[in-house]
């Protein structure tokens, strides 16, 4: 698969719903963080055959893809090649926790400042996790794209995993798990994945198992973040934004 087609595939997958989640057993298989994105990148920009899509790959592996489609809004997202299928017994459910900790305390913003900026930008900023991707997305007016990107950059690259935020998850995640378990249309597909794939990869839990939630610490989350949130595993994609500006 070419870099361009791969980036476009990432974009299609990333804008879909994150999928439904349910509690299951703790994953066991370990996945090497260097797979599948070991790279020897150089700074290049490619243009699709129809001239609409630009994809720039920086020397550190970060990819930036955009289409300058005319419209009243700009849509931008950051997509991390991480998710439940890559987790092992020590990190099962951590993609879910990263999703729930997004836009809280970071190096550049407090939780209150992030919430205030999201409200100012229209509230259309969210995060989500799936089996294959952790996503941070925003739909804003074109003149607000820079602010949205700044907020997502801080959320993805410079989070602070504070005890107070983790304690908040210990209160909210059990409720989320109970809610999913009460809905057969959400719960049964996850149980089918667990049975079909057994332990590991696509059979891993999408929601953080309660023992993992209890054991999570700022140090363990920081270690997970350093392992997976690397530029060669990240794509920034946008629609309705000038590529050079992005």
pTM over 0.85: no
Mean pLDDT by 10 residues, the chain (246 residues): 39 38 44 57 87 93 92 93 92 96 96 96 93 96 94 96 96 93 88 85 91 96 96 96 93
Question: How far is Cα 246 from Cα 239, in angstroms, rounded to an integer?
Answer: 10
What gap in Å lies between CA 142 and CA 74, rounded to an integer? 5
Q: What is the pLDDT of residue 37?
A: 55
Distance CA 74, CA 226 (A): 29
**What radius of gyration do the chain's Cα atoms show?**
18
Angle at 128 between CA 88 and CA 138, to 5 degrees: 145
Cα-Cα end-to-end distance for the chain? 25
pLDDT at position 200: 77
Residue 102 in tokens: 């997004």
Dig out the tokens for 91 from the structure: 């990190």
The per-residue pLDDT for 123 is 84
Residues contacting residue 122 through CB under 8 Å, at least 6 positions apart: 139, 140, 141, 144
Beta strand pairing status for 234-239 and 63-67?
parallel
CA atoms of 77 and 15, how far apart (whole Å): 9
3-state DSSP assignment of residue 53: strand
């Amino acid at each position: 698969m070419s870099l361009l087609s791969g980036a476009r595939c990432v974009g299609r997958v990333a804008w879909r719903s994150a999928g439904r989640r349910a509690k299951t057993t703790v994953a066991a298989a370990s996945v090497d963080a260097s797979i599948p994105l070991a790279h020897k990148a150089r700074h290049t920009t490619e243009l699709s055959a129809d001239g609409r899509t630009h994809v720039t790959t920086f020397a550190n592996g970060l990819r930036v893809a955009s289409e300058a489609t005319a419209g009243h809004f700009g849509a931008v997202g950051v997509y991390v090649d991480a998710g439940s299928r890559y987790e092992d017994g020590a990190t099962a459910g951590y993609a879910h926790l990263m999703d729930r900790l997004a836009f809280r305390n970071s190096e550049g913003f407090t939780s209150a400042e992030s919430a205030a900026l999201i409200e100012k930008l229209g509230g259309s900023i969210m995060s989500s996790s799936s089996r294959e991707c952790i996503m941070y997305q925003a739909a804003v007016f074109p003149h607000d794209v820079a602010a949205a990107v700044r907020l997502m950059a801080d959320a993805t690259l410079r989070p602070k995993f504070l005890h107070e935020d983790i304690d908040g998850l210990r209160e909210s995640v059990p409720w989320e798990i109970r809610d999913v378990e009460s809905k057969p249309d959400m719960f049964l597909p996850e149980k089918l994945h667990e049975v079909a794939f057994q332990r590991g990869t696509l059979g891993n839990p999408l929601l953080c198992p309660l023992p993992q939630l209890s054991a999570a610490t700022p140090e363990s989350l920081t270690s997970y973040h350093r392992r997976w949130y690397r530029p060669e595993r990240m794509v920034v994609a946008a629609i309705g934004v000038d590529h050079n500006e992005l």
